[in-house]
Amino acid sequence: MPAMHRIVVDAMGGDLAPDEIVQGAAEASLQLGNVELILVGDAAVLGRQLPQLRHDGSRVRVHHAPTFVEMDEKPAEALAAKPDASIVIAADLVARGEGDALVSAGNTGASVLACARRWTLLEGVSKSALAAVFPTELRRGEKDDPFSLILDVGATVDVSAEDLVGFAVMGSAYAKLVSNNRRPRVALLSNGTEPNKGPANVIAAHAALVETTELNFIGNIEGLDIPRGVADVVVTSGFVGNVVLKMLEGVSETVVRLARYAHKERLAWRLGLVALSSAIDQLKSITDWQQYGGAPLLGFTHPFIKAHGRSNARAVTNAIKVAHKALAGNLCGNIARTMAELDDRAQRGNRARTESSGAMAPTEG
Amino acid sequence: MARRSLLDRFAKLSTLPVKLGERIGLFDHVPEGLAPGEKPPRHTFRWDLDKTYLRTEFDSLADLAKNAMQDAADKQAYPGASALLRALSKEDGHRICIVSGSPTQMRQVLAAKLTLDGIDYDEFVLKNNLKNILRGRFRSLRAQIPYKLPAMLQSRCGAAAECETLFGDDAEADAIIYCLYADLLAGRVSLSDLERVLIASRAYDDDASRILALARRVPKSDAVKRMFIHLDRRSPPNGFLRFGARLVPVFNYFQAALVLYQDKVLSARQVIFVALEMIDSKQYELGSLATSVQDIIRRGRVTRETALALSEEAGEAAKSGALSGRDDLPPFEQIANAFRTRVRELGDTTPPPWNDQEQLDYVRLVDEEHEHRRSRRKQGMG
């Protein structure tokens, strides 16, 4: 029997919690072979809901948490006021070794903060990164994945060149595993494709990434290359990543609103939309974020999959599957190994430079 | 000695035509009741086989063919089921009766499987489908109530126990049949109601008359204390709430063993052996057993006090050697602690209270079951 993976699920987090979260977890218990699911939340509520669903009762357990963080609460304040909130207890369970991974559709800031306060970073990783997936024109990997990964989107605002290299390693390892993409194309987001474009940390990160053989680094890309899908993994600081993500979401919402307006306003436009409806449906199915499940918080010794706040049961099941895949594929171990290899290479480089400068230095006496 | 052996041989020879007759669909196997002077059983355990004891797939023709071709050694019991059945059969005054919907032609293989698993049984009834085909009774091939109910009534007419415990699954109409049987024995279902149920079940007239005759003469008492439904299809447990507290849906046989421990039918030591068989199957580990405890407490089928008492008693049993030679397991105190932790994880929550059980409308239940089966067939799910 392969080792049982224990996935902790914040059952109270998300717009549709706990109903859709519990339903998604129940379905995952039937679909995944060697997983134990720990639902954290109000035991009375969860205990009433579970027996109404098809599930495997020997692999879904409940851990009581009397409160939870609302979606619109301020993260730091909420965690201070509610030390027994479901996300806090869930992160604690993983930190104590009673769980192997965490899935939450709840308040993003509170989830990231709860993990950051309790979990330890992988050796060699200086900062964690929250990733997000974005639908692109080009597809990738064995599964023809229509999503690219962009990180960081808000976990770390100020980053150094070393942090960006770490993000590149983490994003590449994740894309390799989840999209079955053997050599994910990794790029740095900048204001030009030339290596010397951008702020100092981006230029230094470019110089370091060019040296790596572990990653398929394709250089710098510009904002317009993100939706095109030029890169499979887009690396940037949390500040820029968050701005980019919000802007892309805003553009997408505006397009939908314009289409609705057109549908209402003129018959000819409505007919045009009807004619395009099958193509629009296809586009919707390609860019259906629910199939992707969630995006990871990378850099810690345990995987955390942050599902979309509006996640329904299907999205939650898929987020749990992603967490399972991350555990089965030893995502954190792979990141740590690559970070160690990069560190080793850097140390060898430093030694070689010291030796050569020592050999060239004039002898005293 | 020689004379007895001769008698034995003669007895075996005398049953040969019946066995052959059953195999070619001529006769029905009628279970032997109690021998003259034999004490009636204290507790009868009635088991279904497929999907209850044996892991069987019969959702497609290919599955049916595979089942028919399997050897006894290839057949797999659910983890813990053999240990539980063995524990139940070993006690004095216990009677094990197996009623299966498998065809009579499989008697040899199924009997061999039970022997391989070390199960002693008192009765073993199979469905004579060849006879049904030869008589053109195609409705009987799928019928559950007109087959199982008389088989159970007949068995009780031969050997009536004070208590009965029934084991079935969620694949067929076991919950309905078992409750109907229990309510018939307790006098909660009248013969006229039974007649209406048999009409709804599309029983042939002569079968219905035979069932009514058996219902008239079966020894009556509120004997059925417990029914277990093995959730092979992982049906939602709450779907069985309407059958009342006496019927317990279980995800595995550790949960059944816990309930039987609470009912004072099994000892803590016997529960340990069920758990060990499940761990040895490699399909369960200590964590999933502890989670199973939490699940059944959450559903209000076992109390926290029972789980904690079991943990204490099992500790004593472990000290007296129930876990000897099991170097693969952590020390018992660690195991017990894991179980106690799962109970604590529930906080102060209490399970939902049981509502007073309403009288079941069996005609409606049978109609719903037929509708459910039709929709499953349409979806290609057997």
Instruction: Give A21-32 pLDDT, tens digit per residue.
Output: 999 999 999 999
pTM above 0.80, yes or no: yes
Phi/psi-derived region of residue B54, left when phi > 0, alpha when psi is between -120 and 50, beta in every other case: beta
Mean pLDDT value across residues B363-370: 91
pLDDT tens by residue, A294-347? 789 999 999 999 998 889 999 999 999 999 999 999 999 999 999 998 888 878
Contact B161, B55 (CB under 8 A): no
Instruction: Say how many Å lie between the first and final Cα of chain A, rounded.
Output: 70
Q: Which residues of A touch B (CB under 8 A)?
A: 1, 4, 6, 30, 36, 42-44, 47-48, 50-64, 66
Question: pLDDT class for B12, splitting at 50, 70, 90?
Answer: low
Q: Which chain B residues are within 8 Å of A61, Cβ to Cβ?
A: 291, 294-295, 342, 345
Shortest alpha-carbon distance between residue B297 and chain A (Å): 10
Residue type, A130: L
pLDDT surpasses 50 at B2: no
Contact across the interface for A43 and B298, Cβ inside 8 Å:
yes
pLDDT computed for residue B9 by the predictor: 61
pLDDT computed for residue A2 by the predictor: 64
Largest CA distance in chain B: 69
Candidates B285, B292, B346; nearest CB to A57: B292
Phi/psi-derived region of residue A171, left when phi > 0, alpha when psi is between -120 and 50, beta in every other case: alpha
Contact A235, A241 (CB under 8 A): no
Q: How far are the Cα atoms of A322, B233, B283, B284, B374 from residue A1, in angstroms, in the given order?
A: 21, 22, 7, 9, 37
Q: Does B347 touch chain A (CB under 8 A)?
A: yes
pLDDT surpasses 60 at A287: no
**Joined tokens for residue B99:** 């009623």
Mean pLDDT value across residues B263-269: 94
pLDDT surpasses 90 at B186: yes
Q: Which chain B residues are within 8 Å of A68, Cβ to Cβ?
A: none
pLDDT surpasses 70 at A52: yes
Beta pairing class for A216-221 and A185-189 = parallel
Contact across the interface for B291 and A57, Cβ inside 8 Å:
yes
pLDDT tens by residue, A84-125? 999 999 999 999 999 999 999 999 999 999 999 999 999 999
Mean pLDDT value across residues A134-150: 79
Q: Which chain A residues are within 8 Å of B296, Cβ to Cβ?
A: 57
Q: Does B300 touch chain A (CB under 8 A)?
A: no
pLDDT computed for residue A1 by the predictor: 62
Mean pLDDT value across residues B99-120: 91
Q: Which of A82-91, B5-14, B58-67 has the lowest mean pLDDT?
A: B5-14
Candidates A30, A58, A66; nearest CB to B291: A58
pLDDT computed for residue A246 by the predictor: 80
Cis peptide upstream of residue A18 (ω within 30 degrees of 0): yes
pLDDT computed for residue A279 by the predictor: 63
Our separate counts of H helices and E strands in chain B read 16, 6
More confident residue, A86 or A287: A86
Q: Which of A220-229, B43-52, B111-120 has the lowest mean pLDDT?
A: A220-229
Give the contacts of B102 (CB within 8 A, at least 6 positions apart): B49, B50, B67, B110, B126, B127
Candidates B254, B288, B346; nearest CB to A43: B346
Mean pLDDT value across residues B292-316: 92
Size of interface A-B (CB pairs under 8 A): 81
More confident residue, B1 or A97: A97
Q: Which of A145-159, A296-310, B10-24, B198-212 has the lowest mean pLDDT?
A: B10-24
Contact B88, B99 (CB under 8 A): no
Contact across the interface for B346 and A57, Cβ inside 8 Å:
no
More confident residue, B23 or A212: A212
Q: Which chain A residues are within 8 Å of B347, Cβ to Cβ?
A: 43, 64, 66
Shortest alpha-carbon distance between residue B193 and chain A (Å): 30
Contacts 24+ apart (CB under 8 A), B106-109: B106/B67, B106/B68, B107/B19, B107/B22, B107/B23, B107/B29, B109/B70, B109/B71, B109/B72, B109/B75
pLDDT computed for residue B8 by the predictor: 59
Contact B96, B45 (CB under 8 A): yes
pLDDT surpasses 50 at B1: no
Q: Report which DSSP code applies to B52.
A: T
- What torsion, rounded to 10 degrees, do the Cα atoms A299, A300, A301, A304 define? -110
Candidates A36, A43, A56; nearest CB to B349: A43
More confident residue, A56 or B67: A56
**Joined tokens for residue A128:** 């964690």
pLDDT surpasses 90 at A76: yes
Mean pLDDT value across residues A143-165: 88
Phi/psi-derived region of residue B202, left when phi > 0, alpha when psi is between -120 and 50, beta in every other case: left
More confident residue, A267 or B211: B211
pLDDT tens by residue, B324-343? 777 788 888 888 888 889 98
Q: Which residue of chain A has the CA closest to B283? A: A1
Question: pLDDT class for B198, splitting at 50, 70, 90?
Answer: very high
Q: Which of A100, A90, A11, A31 is nearest to A318 (CA)?
A: A31
pLDDT surpasses 90 at B227: yes
pLDDT computed for residue B171 by the predictor: 83
Contact across the interface for B287 and A60, Cβ inside 8 Å:
no
pLDDT surpasses 80 at A288: no
Q: Which chain B residues are within 8 Å of A57, Cβ to Cβ?
A: 231, 237, 251, 255, 291-292, 295-296
Residue type, B291: T
pLDDT surpasses 50 at A364: no
Question: pLDDT class for B128, splitting at 50, 70, 90?
Answer: confident
More confident residue, A60 or A349: A60
Question: pLDDT class for B264, splitting at 50, 70, 90?
Answer: very high
Question: pLDDT class for A365, splitting at 50, 70, 90?
Answer: very low
Percent of chain A with pLDDT over 70: 93
Average pLDDT in chain B: 87
Q: How many residues does chain A have?
A: 365
Shortest alpha-carbon distance between residue B351 and chain A (Å): 7
Contact across the interface for A62 and B345, Cβ inside 8 Å:
yes
Contact across the interface for A48 and B294, Cβ inside 8 Å:
no
- In degrees rounded to 5, what are phi and psi of residue A332? -65, -40
Q: Which residue has the tokens 């749990």?
A: A320
Question: pLDDT class for B372, splitting at 50, 70, 90?
Answer: confident
Candidates B288, B299, B345; nearest CB to A36: B288
Mean pLDDT value across residues B140-150: 87
Side-chain half-sphere CA neighbours of B91 within 13 A: 18
Contact across the interface for B294 and A61, Cβ inside 8 Å:
yes
Find which of A61, A63, A93 to mutate to test the B interface (most B CBs within 10 Å of its CB): A61
